[in-house]
């Protein structure tokens, strides 16, 4: 059972290893939603995610014998680091099975905490099955990332901190992968104040909780293909599902494109790096009417490798019409390129890439192709630049934008 006494115990224990993550008021998100929106920045934890809470509390409940056997778990990264860090604190061995697609930053950080890392399978579920095999074969103690009530209790300590800091909170938005975080937060939030509404947010392409709630039982999805790798789970936990049914008020689906926009918002307005899974709560805000309400978004993690970050930024800028590309056909004679560049400059566009193709036509005098990638301030400015080119007779054709 998840009890208030256990949550209170866990809240004191996790303070031994967690950073205080005070709520951050978001002027930007508040203006966007009409409510008062606060962020719970769990991306600022030692391991870059909230998972340390559940892992540390779980390990503290184990017997000395269970710890001496060695710990094993499966994780897409954040739980891995939590278990590795907690095991290091307790001086016990940890083996972590991670999907082969896990971002390099998560793999390396897990190793840096002293754990042995095994890469296996394409998604978490494959890695978990293999980790359970190894646990049975070698006698390791398995620490489940979400389908464990002690782990969920540790994660729920977030709700204790939120309510202590903002007693009048109306909504708590929580990312969902396997369901452990939303279970702990929703159960404790309802214990502390039944009027608090807890809203789960999961990737539309990995909607395992939505499927389970609709079916009334755990359902295994055929795939979990989403950029929110930390929540790419085919099946939620059986032990935690009843608690979700009883305590979570709604589960919203978030498209990958929405996470890209949320990443840009967080970097530009709060100077924070939050991984895609951690942004589910932020991206879900616009689906709710929050006028006159106080809402807290749990930013569950911030472990994103630089290559993924660069890709997300590029796609986000393109998505918001702040970077776009056009193709124009020009006569192959001196001065044409200068004329195009001057037209763009007069419209305050900034050229960042040019490609000149003389072989688009067999008659070079008739036409050569110029592909231009440029920066704009947004959709209206983009339209202004296109109109300026059109008026000059260049007949610009929009093409797919690529920075490299």
3-state secondary structure the chain: CCCHHHHHHHHHHHCCCCCCCCCEEEHHHHHHHCCEEEEEEHHHCCCCECHHHHHHHHHHHCCHHHHHCCEEEECCCHHHHHHHHHHHHHCCCEEEEECCCCCHHHHHHHHHCCCEEEECCCCHHHHHHHHHHHHHHHCCEECCCCCCHHHHHHHHHHHHHHHHHCCCCCEEEEECCCCHHHHHHHHHHHHHCCCCEEEEEEEHHHCHHHHHHHHCCCCCCCCCCCCCHHHCCCCCCCCCHHHHHHHCCEEEEECHHHHHHHHHHHHHHHCCCCCCHHHHHHHCHHHCCCCCCEEEEEECECCCCHHHHHHHHHHHHHHCCCEEEEEEEECCCCCHHHHHHHHHHHCCCEEEEEEEECCCCCCCCCCEEEEEEEECCCHHHHHHHHHHHHHCCCCCEEECCCCC
Catalytic residue among 36, 40, 51, 190: 51
Q: What is the pTM of this model?
A: 0.89
Spans in the chain with pLDDT lower than 70: 359-366, 403-404
Residue 136: its pLDDT value, please? 94
CATH number of 4-50+149-316: 3.40.50.1100
Domain 4-50+149-316 identical in fold to domain 52-142: yes
Residue 365: its pLDDT value, please? 59
Query: Domain 52-142 belongs to what architecture?
Result: 3-Layer(aba) Sandwich (3.40)
pLDDT, tens digit (0-9, with 9 covering 90-100), for 138-159: 999 999 999 999 999 999 999 9
Catalytic residue among 36, 300, 325, 382: 300
Residue 359: its pLDDT value, please? 67
Classify strands 397-399 and 323-330 as parallel, antiparallel or unpaired: antiparallel
Contact 182, 152 (CB under 8 A): no
Q: Could you confirm whether 300 is annotated as catalytic?
A: yes
Residue 363: its pLDDT value, please? 61
Q: Where in the chain are the domains?
A: 4-50+149-316, 52-142, 321-399
Q: What token pair was written down for 142?
A: 């398995």
pLDDT, tens digit (0-9, with 9 covering 90-100), for 218-245: 999 998 889 998 898 999 999 999 999 9
C-alpha distances (whole Å) from 235 to each of 90, 222, 239, 300, 334 are: 31, 10, 12, 19, 63
Q: Could you confirm whether 51 is annotated as catalytic?
A: yes
Q: Which CATH superfamily is domain 321-399 in?
A: ACT domain (3.30.70.260)
Q: How far apart are CA 140 and CA 317, in angstroms?
A: 46
């Amino acid at each position: 059972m998840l009890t208030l006494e256990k949550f209170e115990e866990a809240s004191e224990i996790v303070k031994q290893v967690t950073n205080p993550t005070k709520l951050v008021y978001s002027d930007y998100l508040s203006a966007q939603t009409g409510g008062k929106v606060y962020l719970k920045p769990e991306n600022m934890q030692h391991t870059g995610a909230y998972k340390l809470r559940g892992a540390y509390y779980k390990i503290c409940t184990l017997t000395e014998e269970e710890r001496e056997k060695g710990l094993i778990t499966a994780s897409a990264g954040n739980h891995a680091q939590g278990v590795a860090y907690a095991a290091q604190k307790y001086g016990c061995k940890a083996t972590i099975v991670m999907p082969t697609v896990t971002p390099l930053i998560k793999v390396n950080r897990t190793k840096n905490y002293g754990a042995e890392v095994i890469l296996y399978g394409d998604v978490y579920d494959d890695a978990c099955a293999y980790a359970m095999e190894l646990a049975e074969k070698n006698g390791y103690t398995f620490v489940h990332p979400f389908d464990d009530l002690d782990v969920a209790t540790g994660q729920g300590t977030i709700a204790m901190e939120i309510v202590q800091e903002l007693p009048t909170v109306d909504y708590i938005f929580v990312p969902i992968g396997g369901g452990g975080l939303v279970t702990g937060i929703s159960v404790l939030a309802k214990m502390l104040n039944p009027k608090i509404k807890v809203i789960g947010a999961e990737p539309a392409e990995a909607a395992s909780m939505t499927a389970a709630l609709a079916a009334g039982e755990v359902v295994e999805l055929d795939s979990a293909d989403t950029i929110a790798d930390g929540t790419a789970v085919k099946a939620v936990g059986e032990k935690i599902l009843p608690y979700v049914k009883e305590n979570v008020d709604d589960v919203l689906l978030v498209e990958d494109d929405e996470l890209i926009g949320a990443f840009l918002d967080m970097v530009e307005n709060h100077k924070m790096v939050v991984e895609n899974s951690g942004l589910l709560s932020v991206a879900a805000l616009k689906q709710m009417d929050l006028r006159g309400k106080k809402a807290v978004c749990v930013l569950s993690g911030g472990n994103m490798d630089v290559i993924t970050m660069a890709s997300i930024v590029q796609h986000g800028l393109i998505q918001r019409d702040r970077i776009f590309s056009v193709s124009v056909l020009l006569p192959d004679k001196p001065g044409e390129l200068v004329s195009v560049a001057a037209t763009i400059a007069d419209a305050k566009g900034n050229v960042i890439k040019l490609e000149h193709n003389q072989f688009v036509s067999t008659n070079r005098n008739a036409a050569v192709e110029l592909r231009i990638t440029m920066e704009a301030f947004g959709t209206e400015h983009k339209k202004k630049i296109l109109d300026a080119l059109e008026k000059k007779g260049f007949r610009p054709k929009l093409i797919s934008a690529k920075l490299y």
